[in-house]
Amino acid sequence: MPGGSPGMDTVSTTEEHVTEAAPAQAPSSSGGSYIRTAFPAAGAAGPVDGVALVTIDRQEALNALSFDLLDELATALEALDQDPACRAIVLTGAGTRAFAAGADIKELAVQTPITLTTENRFGAWDRIWAIRTPTIAAVRGFALGGGCELAMSCDMIIAAEDAQFGQPEIKLGVMPGAGGTQRLTRAIGTAKAMELILTGRNLGAAEAEAAGLVTKVVAPDGTLPEALGLAARIAAQPPVAVQAAKQAILRAAELPLSAGLDFERRAFFLLFASDDQTEGMAAFAEKRPPDWTGR
Protein backbone atom coordinates (compact mmCIF):
# COMPACT_ATOMS: atom_id res chain seq x y z
CA MET A 1 0.00 0.00 0.00
CA PRO A 2 2.68 2.62 -0.03
CA GLY A 3 2.43 2.02 -3.66
CA GLY A 4 -0.97 0.66 -3.17
CA SER A 5 -1.57 -2.77 -1.81
CA PRO A 6 1.23 -4.86 -0.37
CA GLY A 7 2.88 -7.97 -1.61
CA MET A 8 4.48 -10.53 0.68
CA ASP A 9 7.95 -10.46 2.17
CA THR A 10 8.55 -14.17 1.72
CA VAL A 11 9.19 -16.34 -1.32
CA SER A 12 7.29 -19.35 -2.57
CA THR A 13 8.03 -21.22 -5.75
CA THR A 14 4.67 -22.93 -5.96
CA GLU A 15 1.77 -21.53 -7.94
CA GLU A 16 -0.61 -21.99 -5.02
CA HIS A 17 1.11 -19.47 -2.76
CA VAL A 18 1.74 -15.78 -2.84
CA THR A 19 5.12 -15.02 -4.30
CA GLU A 20 7.74 -12.54 -3.30
CA ALA A 21 7.53 -8.81 -2.74
CA ALA A 22 9.31 -6.04 -0.91
CA PRO A 23 11.62 -7.32 1.83
CA ALA A 24 10.83 -5.73 5.17
CA GLN A 25 14.40 -4.49 5.44
CA ALA A 26 14.38 -2.76 2.06
CA PRO A 27 15.67 0.82 2.12
CA SER A 28 13.19 3.63 1.54
CA SER A 29 13.19 5.56 -1.70
CA SER A 30 14.06 8.87 -0.09
CA GLY A 31 17.77 8.38 -0.71
CA GLY A 32 17.66 8.69 -4.48
CA SER A 33 15.70 8.44 -7.69
CA TYR A 34 14.04 5.17 -8.57
CA ILE A 35 12.38 6.30 -11.82
CA ARG A 36 14.19 6.45 -15.16
CA THR A 37 12.58 8.13 -18.16
CA ALA A 38 13.70 7.81 -21.77
CA PHE A 39 11.96 9.92 -24.40
CA PRO A 40 12.00 8.96 -27.11
CA ALA A 41 12.37 5.35 -26.08
CA ALA A 42 15.19 3.37 -27.64
CA GLY A 43 14.02 0.53 -29.83
CA ALA A 44 15.95 -2.15 -31.69
CA ALA A 45 15.98 -0.01 -34.83
CA GLY A 46 16.62 3.30 -33.07
CA PRO A 47 14.47 5.90 -31.29
CA VAL A 48 10.74 5.09 -31.21
CA ASP A 49 8.97 8.24 -32.39
CA GLY A 50 6.38 9.57 -29.97
CA VAL A 51 6.95 6.84 -27.38
CA ALA A 52 8.38 7.24 -23.87
CA LEU A 53 9.78 4.48 -21.69
CA VAL A 54 9.46 4.83 -17.92
CA THR A 55 11.35 2.30 -15.78
CA ILE A 56 10.92 1.59 -12.08
CA ASP A 57 14.45 0.85 -10.91
CA ARG A 58 14.54 -0.40 -7.34
CA GLN A 59 15.83 -3.87 -8.04
CA GLU A 60 17.23 -4.47 -4.56
CA ALA A 61 13.60 -4.46 -3.34
CA LEU A 62 12.05 -6.08 -6.42
CA ASN A 63 10.88 -2.64 -7.54
CA ALA A 64 8.65 -2.28 -4.49
CA LEU A 65 6.39 0.77 -4.50
CA SER A 66 7.16 3.13 -1.64
CA PHE A 67 5.29 6.38 -1.17
CA ASP A 68 8.20 8.46 -2.46
CA LEU A 69 8.67 6.20 -5.47
CA LEU A 70 5.02 6.57 -6.42
CA ASP A 71 5.20 10.35 -6.09
CA GLU A 72 8.23 10.35 -8.36
CA LEU A 73 6.49 8.06 -10.84
CA ALA A 74 3.39 10.27 -10.92
CA THR A 75 5.54 13.36 -11.54
CA ALA A 76 7.38 11.65 -14.41
CA LEU A 77 4.14 10.50 -16.02
CA GLU A 78 2.55 13.94 -15.66
CA ALA A 79 5.54 15.59 -17.36
CA LEU A 80 5.22 13.22 -20.32
CA ASP A 81 1.45 13.70 -20.40
CA GLN A 82 1.97 17.44 -20.82
CA ASP A 83 4.36 16.99 -23.75
CA PRO A 84 2.42 16.96 -27.04
CA ALA A 85 5.27 15.06 -28.69
CA CYS A 86 4.67 12.11 -26.35
CA ARG A 87 1.81 10.01 -27.69
CA ALA A 88 2.25 6.73 -25.82
CA ILE A 89 4.04 5.61 -22.65
CA VAL A 90 5.49 2.20 -21.79
CA LEU A 91 5.95 1.46 -18.07
CA THR A 92 8.20 -1.38 -16.94
CA GLY A 93 10.30 -2.60 -14.05
CA ALA A 94 14.08 -2.88 -14.13
CA GLY A 95 15.54 -6.37 -14.22
CA THR A 96 13.81 -9.65 -14.94
CA ARG A 97 12.44 -10.66 -11.54
CA ALA A 98 9.66 -8.14 -10.99
CA PHE A 99 7.59 -5.42 -12.60
CA ALA A 100 6.77 -4.33 -9.05
CA ALA A 101 6.43 -6.91 -6.31
CA GLY A 102 4.18 -4.91 -4.02
CA ALA A 103 4.51 -2.35 -1.28
CA ASP A 104 7.35 -1.48 1.04
CA ILE A 105 6.07 -3.52 3.98
CA LYS A 106 8.25 -1.76 6.56
CA GLU A 107 6.90 1.62 5.47
CA LEU A 108 3.34 0.33 5.40
CA ALA A 109 3.36 -1.44 8.74
CA VAL A 110 3.68 1.78 10.79
CA GLN A 111 0.73 3.55 9.16
CA THR A 112 -2.49 4.39 10.97
CA PRO A 113 -5.89 5.45 9.64
CA ILE A 114 -4.97 9.01 10.61
CA THR A 115 -1.61 9.09 8.83
CA LEU A 116 -3.06 7.45 5.74
CA THR A 117 -5.80 10.08 5.65
CA THR A 118 -3.98 13.26 6.62
CA GLU A 119 -0.72 12.66 4.73
CA ASN A 120 -2.65 11.71 1.57
CA ARG A 121 0.21 9.66 0.15
CA PHE A 122 -2.34 7.65 -1.82
CA GLY A 123 -2.98 10.83 -3.81
CA ALA A 124 -0.20 9.69 -6.15
CA TRP A 125 -2.54 7.00 -7.42
CA ASP A 126 -5.12 9.61 -8.40
CA ARG A 127 -2.43 11.42 -10.38
CA ILE A 128 -1.44 8.22 -12.17
CA TRP A 129 -5.05 7.37 -13.01
CA ALA A 130 -5.52 10.87 -14.50
CA ILE A 131 -2.87 10.39 -17.22
CA ARG A 132 -4.51 10.96 -20.62
CA THR A 133 -1.73 9.55 -22.79
CA PRO A 134 -2.17 5.82 -23.53
CA THR A 135 -0.07 3.68 -21.19
CA ILE A 136 1.21 0.14 -21.63
CA ALA A 137 2.66 -2.00 -18.83
CA ALA A 138 5.49 -4.33 -19.89
CA VAL A 139 5.48 -6.98 -17.17
CA ARG A 140 8.16 -9.52 -16.38
CA GLY A 141 8.16 -11.51 -13.17
CA PHE A 142 6.06 -10.46 -10.20
CA ALA A 143 3.27 -7.90 -10.38
CA LEU A 144 1.77 -8.33 -6.93
CA GLY A 145 -0.35 -6.17 -4.65
CA GLY A 146 0.36 -2.56 -5.59
CA GLY A 147 2.39 -3.84 -8.53
CA CYS A 148 -0.65 -5.61 -9.95
CA GLU A 149 -2.73 -2.51 -9.28
CA LEU A 150 -0.15 -0.39 -11.09
CA ALA A 151 -0.18 -2.71 -14.11
CA MET A 152 -3.99 -2.60 -14.14
CA SER A 153 -3.83 1.21 -13.98
CA CYS A 154 -2.23 1.12 -17.41
CA ASP A 155 -4.44 0.89 -20.47
CA MET A 156 -2.85 -2.32 -21.77
CA ILE A 157 -0.57 -5.02 -20.38
CA ILE A 158 2.06 -6.94 -22.32
CA ALA A 159 3.08 -9.87 -20.12
CA ALA A 160 6.07 -12.16 -20.32
CA GLU A 161 5.46 -15.87 -20.02
CA ASP A 162 7.12 -15.67 -16.60
CA ALA A 163 4.78 -12.93 -15.31
CA GLN A 164 2.82 -13.51 -12.12
CA PHE A 165 -0.13 -11.34 -11.14
CA GLY A 166 -1.84 -11.30 -7.77
CA GLN A 167 -3.46 -9.43 -4.90
CA PRO A 168 -2.00 -11.16 -1.82
CA GLU A 169 -3.06 -8.50 0.69
CA ILE A 170 -5.40 -10.91 2.46
CA LYS A 171 -2.33 -12.81 3.70
CA LEU A 172 -1.20 -9.67 5.51
CA GLY A 173 -4.53 -9.13 7.22
CA VAL A 174 -5.71 -6.37 4.87
CA MET A 175 -7.19 -6.05 1.37
CA PRO A 176 -6.32 -4.27 -1.89
CA GLY A 177 -6.41 -0.51 -1.40
CA ALA A 178 -5.32 1.04 -4.71
CA GLY A 179 -7.87 -0.29 -7.14
CA GLY A 180 -7.42 -4.05 -6.88
CA THR A 181 -10.98 -4.92 -5.92
CA GLN A 182 -12.38 -2.64 -8.60
CA ARG A 183 -10.06 -3.05 -11.60
CA LEU A 184 -9.49 -6.78 -11.21
CA THR A 185 -13.25 -7.39 -10.97
CA ARG A 186 -13.90 -5.31 -14.08
CA ALA A 187 -11.13 -7.09 -15.96
CA ILE A 188 -11.85 -10.73 -15.14
CA GLY A 189 -15.31 -10.82 -13.53
CA THR A 190 -16.65 -11.13 -10.02
CA ALA A 191 -16.26 -14.89 -9.53
CA LYS A 192 -12.59 -15.06 -10.51
CA ALA A 193 -11.71 -11.81 -8.71
CA MET A 194 -13.36 -13.13 -5.53
CA GLU A 195 -11.27 -16.28 -5.68
CA LEU A 196 -7.97 -14.51 -6.27
CA ILE A 197 -8.44 -11.72 -3.74
CA LEU A 198 -9.95 -13.86 -0.97
CA THR A 199 -7.26 -16.56 -1.26
CA GLY A 200 -4.28 -14.46 -2.36
CA ARG A 201 -3.51 -16.90 -5.17
CA ASN A 202 -1.25 -15.79 -7.99
CA LEU A 203 -2.30 -15.76 -11.62
CA GLY A 204 0.21 -16.89 -14.23
CA ALA A 205 0.54 -15.11 -17.55
CA ALA A 206 -1.36 -17.68 -19.62
CA GLU A 207 -4.28 -17.75 -17.17
CA ALA A 208 -4.24 -13.95 -16.96
CA GLU A 209 -4.50 -13.70 -20.75
CA ALA A 210 -7.32 -16.25 -20.89
CA ALA A 211 -9.18 -14.32 -18.17
CA GLY A 212 -8.86 -11.02 -20.05
CA LEU A 213 -6.43 -9.30 -17.68
CA VAL A 214 -3.58 -8.88 -20.16
CA THR A 215 -3.43 -7.82 -23.78
CA LYS A 216 -0.81 -10.31 -24.97
CA VAL A 217 1.65 -12.87 -23.61
CA VAL A 218 5.07 -13.10 -25.22
CA ALA A 219 8.44 -14.73 -24.63
CA PRO A 220 10.30 -13.02 -21.77
CA ASP A 221 12.96 -11.41 -23.97
CA GLY A 222 10.28 -10.03 -26.27
CA THR A 223 8.25 -8.26 -23.59
CA LEU A 224 9.67 -4.77 -23.90
CA PRO A 225 10.06 -4.87 -27.73
CA GLU A 226 6.43 -5.98 -28.04
CA ALA A 227 5.24 -3.19 -25.74
CA LEU A 228 7.30 -0.58 -27.60
CA GLY A 229 5.97 -1.85 -30.92
CA LEU A 230 2.38 -1.57 -29.71
CA ALA A 231 3.09 1.91 -28.35
CA ALA A 232 4.61 2.94 -31.69
CA ARG A 233 1.48 1.84 -33.55
CA ILE A 234 -0.68 3.88 -31.17
CA ALA A 235 1.66 6.89 -31.39
CA ALA A 236 1.26 6.83 -35.18
CA GLN A 237 -2.49 7.49 -34.87
CA PRO A 238 -4.14 10.93 -34.51
CA PRO A 239 -3.54 11.88 -30.85
CA VAL A 240 -6.76 13.82 -30.25
CA ALA A 241 -8.86 10.90 -31.49
CA VAL A 242 -6.75 8.42 -29.51
CA GLN A 243 -7.30 10.29 -26.25
CA ALA A 244 -11.01 10.68 -26.95
CA ALA A 245 -11.36 6.98 -27.70
CA LYS A 246 -9.43 6.07 -24.53
CA GLN A 247 -11.75 8.15 -22.36
CA ALA A 248 -14.84 6.62 -23.98
CA ILE A 249 -13.52 3.09 -23.38
CA LEU A 250 -12.77 3.88 -19.74
CA ARG A 251 -16.29 5.23 -19.27
CA ALA A 252 -17.68 1.88 -20.42
CA ALA A 253 -16.71 0.37 -17.05
CA GLU A 254 -18.34 3.18 -15.08
CA LEU A 255 -21.48 4.32 -16.90
CA PRO A 256 -24.81 2.68 -17.70
CA LEU A 257 -25.02 1.71 -21.37
CA SER A 258 -27.27 4.64 -22.33
CA ALA A 259 -24.93 7.17 -20.67
CA GLY A 260 -21.88 5.51 -22.22
CA LEU A 261 -23.42 5.66 -25.68
CA ASP A 262 -24.22 9.33 -25.14
CA PHE A 263 -20.62 10.02 -24.04
CA GLU A 264 -19.30 8.21 -27.11
CA ARG A 265 -21.56 10.10 -29.51
CA ARG A 266 -20.64 13.48 -28.06
CA ALA A 267 -16.93 12.65 -28.30
CA PHE A 268 -17.40 11.49 -31.88
CA PHE A 269 -19.19 14.72 -32.83
CA LEU A 270 -16.51 16.86 -31.14
CA LEU A 271 -13.75 15.24 -33.19
CA PHE A 272 -15.27 16.87 -36.28
CA ALA A 273 -13.87 20.15 -34.94
CA SER A 274 -10.31 18.81 -35.20
CA ASP A 275 -7.83 19.38 -38.00
CA ASP A 276 -6.94 15.68 -37.82
CA GLN A 277 -10.50 14.69 -38.77
CA THR A 278 -10.32 16.91 -41.85
CA GLU A 279 -6.88 15.58 -42.74
CA GLY A 280 -7.78 11.95 -42.13
CA MET A 281 -10.82 11.95 -44.35
CA ALA A 282 -9.08 13.99 -47.05
CA ALA A 283 -6.13 11.59 -47.03
CA PHE A 284 -8.48 8.63 -47.34
CA ALA A 285 -10.26 10.20 -50.32
CA GLU A 286 -6.95 11.13 -51.95
CA LYS A 287 -5.40 7.71 -51.27
CA ARG A 288 -2.37 9.09 -49.41
CA PRO A 289 -0.98 8.71 -45.88
CA PRO A 290 -2.42 11.25 -43.42
CA ASP A 291 -0.23 13.88 -41.77
CA TRP A 292 -1.48 14.15 -38.20
CA THR A 293 -0.89 17.40 -36.33
CA GLY A 294 -2.62 16.67 -33.04
CA ARG A 295 -5.02 19.55 -33.49
* Catalytic site positions: 103, 146, 149, 169
Report CA-CA distances (Å) from 221 to 90, 109, 124, 139, 158: 16, 36, 31, 11, 12
| Contact of 223 with 205, CB cutoff 8 Å | no
- Nearest residue to 133 (alpha-carbon basis) of 54, 19, 33: 54
CA gap 160, 176 in Å, rounded: 24
Measured torsion, CA atoms of residues 222, 10, 104, 89, in degrees rounded to the nearest 10: 10
CA gap 290, 261 in Å, rounded: 28
CA gap 2, 152 in Å, rounded: 16
| Contact of 78 with 46, CB cutoff 8 Å | no
- Nearest residue to 200 (alpha-carbon basis) of 15, 13, 1, 4: 15
| Alpha carbon distance, N-terminus to C-terminus of the chain | 39
Beta strands at 51-56 and 88-93: parallel, antiparallel or unpaired: parallel
